Structure 1
Amino acid sequence: MPPMATSAFKQQGSLDDFDGKRGKEFSRIMKYFSNKALFAFAIIFAIFAGVMPLLMNIFMGDMVNVFNTADNFMPNLVSVIYKLIGFNVGMLVVMFINIYLRMVANPFFMRDLRKNLYKSYMEQDIEYYDRVPTGVMVGRLSQDVTMIHEIFIDKLCTTIQLLAQSIGGIILAFVTVWQCAFIGLGASILAGIIFFIGERVVDKIWISYNESSSQAATKAEEVITTFRTIKSFDCELQEAQAYQATLVEVDNIFKKTSLAQGVKDLFIALIMHAMQAGTLYYASYMVMNQPEKGYVAGDLFIMMMSLSFATLGISNAMTMSDDFKKTLVSCAKVLDVIERKPKSDRKKGGKLKSIKGKIEFRNVTFKYATAKENALENLSFIINPGETVAFVGESGCGKSTTLQLIQRFYDIQSGQILLDDVDVAELSQVYVRSQISIVPQSPVLFTMSIKDNISYAKPKKAIESQVAEAAQVGNAHNFIMEIPNNYKAEVQQTSLSGGQKQRICISRAILANSPILLLDEATAALDTESELLVQQSLERFRKGKTAIMVAHRLATVINADRILVFNEGHIVEEGTHQELLSKGGIYADLVKFQLQ
C-alpha cells in the first residue's frame, strides 16, 4: 500500500485549477491596472529611450566627416561637440524619466493585481476551495503575481525600448544607405520567422514545465503539512523518493526547453552576424568604388551603427522572450482566477422582514461535485423556532453536510430548504449567513488580538463592553483577564489551550447573537474540564434560539429537544434521548458502544 500523501498526490494529478485558457493576456491584464496613464507615459518614454541613442549616431557621423575634411576643421569640430553635449544631456533626462516611471508603475501594478486576485478568491464559492489545493491558490498570490510584477512593467518597457531601437535603426539605415538597409531588413525578417517558429515549440514545452513545477511545489507543501503522519508511519524515504520523481520530470522538461531555445538563438545569431558582414562589405565597396553616388565615410558609419543598434535590439528583445513565455503562463493562471465568476451571486436574493428560526428540509438530495454518490438523498425534517435538535450518526452520514447546506455553501440537486417557510434559494446568501452563528469543531482564530477575534462577528459595530459581555457569557472573560494585555493580547503570541480557543469562538458566536446556532462537534476535541465549561456557555447562549448540535459524544445531546439519527444520507430515527433508547435501534447501539 503506498504512503497516504503519495497516494493522494497521484490521485490529484496536476493539482492546478488552470483550465488552459490562453490569449491576449497582456491586454486582458491591463484592465486591472488602475493607473493606465502612468503606464502609457512609461511606454512613451521607453520609445524615446530607444530612439535617442540612434539619433546620436547622426552627430557621430558628422564628426567622422569632420575628421575627413581639412576645411574649417576646428569650428566644425567644436560645433559637433556642442551638439553632442546638448543631445546627451537631453538623452540623460529622458533615460532618468524612463527609469523613474517604471519604478513608480511597478508597485502600483502589483498592488492592483494582488487586490483583484484576492477579491476574486473572496467571491468564489465553497466548491472552488474544495477543488483547488491551498498551495496552488497561495502560489497565485505570491509566485505568479511576483513573476508578472518582475516582467510586466520593467521588461515590457525594455522590450518596447529595444523594438523602437531596432525599427528606428532600420529606418535610419534606409535614410542613409538604402541599398545596404535591404540586407539588414531581409535578415531581420528571416530571423523573425525563425524566432516565431521556435517560440511556438518552446511555448508548448513551457506549459508542461510550469504544470510540473506547480505539481512539485504542491507535493512539497503536502508533505510538510502532513509530516507528523508521514513520520508516524516511517514513510520519510518514500516521500523523499516521490518528490525526487517530480523533480526529475521538471528537469527533463527544462532540458527540452533549453535545447529548443538554444537551437533557435543559434540560428538567429548566425543570420545577424552574416548580415553585419554582408552590409559592411557592400557599404565599403560603394564608398570606395562608386563615388558618383555621393556616399561618404560618415554615411557608412551612421548606416553601420544603425544596423548594429537594430541587430542588438532584436537580439536582446528575443532573449527576453523566454521571460515573457513564463510570464504569459502566470498571467493566464492569474486571469483565470480573476475572471472566474462564481456559480451563484452571494448578494442576489431577498430578505425576511423578521425571522423566527424555523428550518425545513423537503426531499433534499445533494451530491458534492467531486463525489460519485449522493451525500444526502430525499432528506426531510422540520426544526421549529427555539428548538434544540441534535444530529447523530457515524462519520460520513451527512450531518456536517446538512449544516453546510443550511448556510447555503452549496446548491442542492433537488428538493427545497426553507427558512421560515421561504425557500433559501430566494434569499441572499449574505442574509442567510447573517442569521446563523456557528461554533466549529476545530476553533478558528485569526492572527489578531483576542478582542478582534471575538468582534470578528461584528467588526464595525462591536464596542469593548459588548465584547467583554460576550466573553463572560462564553466563560472566556476570566482567563482572558489573566493573560498579559488581556483583550489586546495577540492570539499568535499567546499560549492558549484548546478549550480556551473554543470559548473565544463561542464568545464570537454569542456576540453575533444570531437567531440560529449551529454547533458542529463543538466539544469533540476538549478535555473533560474544558468541555464542561464550554457546555455551560452553550447552555446559557442557546436559550430562545434555534440550535442544531452535531455530536459524536452522545452525552452532550441528552438534553436536546429532539435527536435525529443519520445513516447514509437519510434520517432513520427521531425522538428524545429516552424515546430512542427505548426503541433499541441505531441510537441505542451507539450509546451502548460509547458506554463500553
Structure 2
Amino acid sequence: MASNVSGKAFDRSLLKRMLRYIAPYKGVFWGAFAITILLGSLGTARPILTQRAIDNYILKGDAPGLLNITLLILGVLLVESIFQFLFTYAANYLGQSIIRDIRLQLYKKITHFKLSFFDKTPIGTLVTRAVSDIETIASIFAEGILVIFGDLFKIVVMVGAMFWFFDFKLVVISLSVVPILFIATRWFQKAIKKTFSDVRNEVAALNAFVQEHLSGMNIVQMFNREKAEMDKFKVINNRHRKANIRSIWYFSIFLPLIEILSAISIGLAMGYGGYAAINSFDSQTLQMFFYEVMGWSTAEMEQQITIGTLLAFVMFINALYRPLRQLADRFNTLQMGMVASDRVLKLLDNNDAVEPEGSAQLTEASGKIEFSDVHFAYVESEPVLRGVSFDVNPGETLAIVGATGAGKSTIISLLMGFYPYQSGSVKLDGIEITDLSLGELRKQFALVLQDVFLFSDSIFNNISLKADIPKEEIVKAAEQIGVDEFVKELPEGYDYNVKERGQMLSAGQRQLLAFLRAYVTNPPILILDEATSSIDSHTEQLIQRATDVITEGRTSIIIAHRLATIQKADKILVMDKGQVVESGTHETLLAENGYYTKLYEMQFKEREAI
C-alpha cells in the first residue's frame, strides 16, 4: 500500500479532495482565511512606524511624539498577538475536526472490510493508517494550506510595500538573491517528496512488526527467538532511520542556504544603503532613468536614504525572509500530510475489500440451513471445499468432524458470510445468504470459537458487548449454565477487568465466558467451533453442561475435536479433504465401520493410554 503521490496534477486533485472535508466547517475556514490576510497586512505596519519614530522623532528630539508612536507600535503588536491567537486556534480546531470526521469514516469502512482483506493486510499497517497517518492529515489544515497562503500573501505584501515605501534601487539590489531562493525551494520540494513517502512506508512496516511480535511474544520467548527477532527489528529500524536521515540531509542543505541568502540580502542593503546614508548619496539616478523609460511619474520618489529608512528596510528583509524560511517547513508539513492523505484515501476508496450486502430481510430465522454443491477456495488454485452438500432442520444439532484442514471451520465462515463461495448454494430458511443483508444474516448466529477474544474491559461489558442487556439478566444466565460460580470468586465479580485478550483468566474461564456471551444473545442458531479442544476435564464438564443448556430448542452446529462431546448430535458430518465422506448419527456411523469409526477408536485408545 505504498504511496503514489507523484506529479503536480495528482497532488492538486488529492488536495482538492481533501478540501471537500472543509464543507461542514466553512465558517471557521473563511474566518481563519480573513485573519491570515489581516495579519499579512499588519506585518508592514511596525517597520514603517519604526522608521517614522527614528527619522521624525528620535533624530529630532521630539519626546512627546516618540511616546505617541511607541504606544501605537505597542497597540499594533497587541492586535497582531490577538489575531495570531485566533488564527492558531481556528486553524487547529479545523484540523482536529476534520481528522475526527475522517477517522470515523475510515474506522467504519474498516469494520465492513472482508476478512480476506485482513488476511493479507498487517494489523500494524491499518493502525498506522487510522492513527498516525490521520493525525498527520490534521497538519494540512492546521499548519499547511492556511499558513502557506498567509506566508505567500505576506511575502507579496512585503515586496509590494518595499517597492512602495523605499528606494527602488535599494530594493532591487537587496532582493537580487531571491530568485536563487525560489529555485532552491522548488528543488527542495521535489527532493523531499519521495523521502517522506519512504518515511511513512517504514513507519507502517515498523508498526506492523512491533504489533505482531508483541501479540506473539509468548511464542518468541518460548522458542528462544529473542535474538533472531531482534536482528529483524534492527534491519527494519535501520531502514526507518535511513529514510529519516535522507529527509534531514535535504533540510541540512536547504535551511542554511536560506540563512546565507538572508544574510546576503541584509549585507547588500547595509552596504548600498549605508553608503548612501553616510555620504548623503543621491541613489535615484538609476531609478529616475527607469521611471522615465517606463513613462511613470517621479513626483513621489524618495530623495534620500535615511538611518530610519535603512533600519526599517532591514526589518522588512527579516520579515520577508521569515515566511520564506518557514515556507520550506510548511511545504514539508503539507507534503507529509499529502502522503498520509493519499494512503488514507486509498483505504477509503478500496470498495473491492468491502463485504457485499444483499437487501433481503429476515427478522428471526427458524434455523433451516441448506448447503448444495458448495465449492470454495481461499486461493484459486487450492480448493478447500469440493461440492459440499448437507441440510440442518430447525432445532437440530449438527456436528462436523474431521482431520485438521478438512474444511470444517470454512463451512462456518461461508455460512456467516465471512467469505464468498465460488459456486453452489447456501441458504438460511430458504433464502440465499448472499441475498440477505449482513446485519440480518449475522444476528441469527452466536459463535463460540476455540480462541476466545476478550476486550480489555469488565466481564460484564465483554458479555453484553455494551448492548442494552440488564446485569440481572446476565447473572441469571450465568447461573443457568454454571458460569456464575467462578465469576463471583473474582475480586470485583462482573466488574473485574480481564485486561488485554482476557489474559487475567484461564483458557477454560475465557471459554465459559464465550458460552455465556452466546447464550445471553438468545440466537436462533448456535455455532461452537472447536470450543472444547484446549481445556481440562473439569472445565469440559462445565462446558458440556453449558452446551446442553444453550443448544436446547435451537439449531446448533458443533465443530468437534473430542468425539465424546457430540454423541447426542442429531446428525454428524465427517469431512475429509474438503468433502463430506460420511453422514449420520453416532450409532449409525459406528455401525458403518468407516472413517468415523477410525477417528473414534483412535481417540478412545489415546484416552486409555492417558
Q: Please classify the TM superposition score into its range, dividing by the shorter chain length.
A: 0.7 to 0.9
- Offset at 1:175? 1.4
Structure 1 residues 396 and 31: alpha-carbon distance in aligned structure 2, compared to 1, 3 A threshold: farther
What's the counterpart of residue 52 of structure 1?
42
Match of 2:165 among 170, 176, 190: 176
Helix, strand or coil: the match of 1:318? Answer: helix
| Residue 591 of structure 2 corresponds to residue 582 of structure 1 | yes
Letter in 2 for 1:463: P
| Residue 352 of structure 2 corresponds to residue 364 of structure 1 | no
What's the counterpart of residue 309 of structure 1?
319
Match of 2:470 among 463, 467, 474: 463
- Offset at 1:386? 1.7
What's the counterpart of residue 55 of structure 2?
65
Give the share of equivalent positions with the same residue, in percent. 26
What's the counterpart of residue 573 of structure 2?
564
Mapped to 2, the partners of 1:18 and 1:399 lie a distance apart of 36
Mapped to 1, the partners of 2:17 and 2:505 lie a distance apart of 47
Q: Mean alpha-carbon deviation: is it higher for 287-296 or for 506-515?
A: 287-296
What's the counterpart of residue 540 of structure 1?
549
What's the counterpart of residue 291 of structure 2?
none
Helix, strand or coil: the match of 1:289? Answer: coil
What's the counterpart of residue 536 of structure 2?
527
Structure 1 residues 67 and 230: alpha-carbon distance in aligned structure 2, compared to 1, 3 A threshold: same
TM-score, normalization: structure 1? 0.87
Structure 1 residues 64 and 19: alpha-carbon distance in aligned structure 2, compared to 1, 3 A threshold: closer
| Residue 171 of structure 2 corresponds to residue 163 of structure 1 | no
Cα-Cα RMSD: 3.0
Mapped to 2, the partners of 1:263 and 1:86 lie a distance apart of 39
Letter in 1 for 2:496: A
Helix, strand or coil: the match of 2:370? Answer: strand
Helix, strand or coil: the match of 1:491? Answer: coil
What's the counterpart of residue 434 of structure 2?
425
Q: Mean alpha-carbon deviation: is it higher for 180-189 or for 470-479?
A: 180-189
Letter in 2 for 1:478: E
What's the counterpart of residue 386 of structure 2?
377
Per-residue CA deviations over 1:220-244 (Å, capped at 9, x if unaligned) read 3333332322233322222222221
Mapped to 2, the partners of 1:19 and 1:371 lie a distance apart of 28
Helix, strand or coil: the match of 2:111? Answer: helix
Q: Would the aligned equivalents of 2:95 and 2:140 in 1 still touch at CA under 8 Å?
A: no
What's the counterpart of residue 386 of structure 1?
395
Q: Would the aligned equivalents of 1:519 and 1:549 in 2 still touch at CA under 8 Å?
A: yes
Q: Mean alpha-carbon deviation: is it higher for 265-274 or for 495-504?
A: 265-274
What's the counterpart of residue 355 of structure 1?
365
Matched length: 576
Mapped to 2, the partners of 1:591 and 1:283 lie a distance apart of 102
Letter in 2 for 1:232: M
Structure 2 residue runs of 5 or longer lacking an equivalent are 286-300, 606-610
Letter in 2 for 1:239: E
- Offset at 1:31? 4.0
Structure 1 residues 373 and 318: alpha-carbon distance in aligned structure 2, compared to 1, 3 A threshold: same
Match of 1:225 among 201, 215, 220: 215
- Offset at 1:117? 3.0
Mapped to 1, the partners of 2:510 and 2:213 lie a distance apart of 27
Helix, strand or coil: the match of 1:501? Answer: helix
Mapped to 2, the partners of 1:354 and 1:103 lie a distance apart of 48
Structure 1 residue runs of 5 or longer lacking an equivalent are 1-16
What's the counterpart of residue 554 of structure 1?
563
- Offset at 1:502? 1.9
Letter in 2 for 1:326: M
Helix, strand or coil: the match of 1:376? Answer: strand
Q: Would the aligned equivalents of 1:473 and 1:541 in 2 still touch at CA under 8 Å?
A: no
- Offset at 1:427? 0.9
Q: Mean alpha-carbon deviation: is it higher for 48-57 or for 176-185?
A: 176-185
- Offset at 1:404? 1.0
Helix, strand or coil: the match of 1:374? Answer: strand
What's the counterpart of residue 131 of structure 1?
120
Mapped to 2, the partners of 1:381 and 1:46 lie a distance apart of 70
- Offset at 1:400? 0.8
What's the counterpart of residue 480 of structure 2?
473
What's the counterpart of residue 290 of structure 2?
none
Q: Would the aligned equivalents of 1:451 and 1:487 in 2 still touch at CA under 8 Å?
A: yes
Per-residue CA deviations over 1:54-109 (Å, capped at 9, x if unaligned) read 22111112123215864x94454344334323323322322332344346455544
1:6-405 aligned at under 5 Å gives the runs 17-18=1-2, 20=4, 23-24=11-12, 25-32=14-21, 34-67=24-57, 70=60, 73-74=62-63, 76-102=65-91, 104-105=93-94, 107-149=96-138, 152-154=141-143, 157-177=146-166, 178-182=168-172, 187-283=177-273, 288-290=281-283, 293-296=301-304, 297=306, 298-341=308-351, 343-344=353-354, 348-352=358-362, 355-368=365-378, 372-405=381-414
TM-score, normalization: structure 2? 0.85
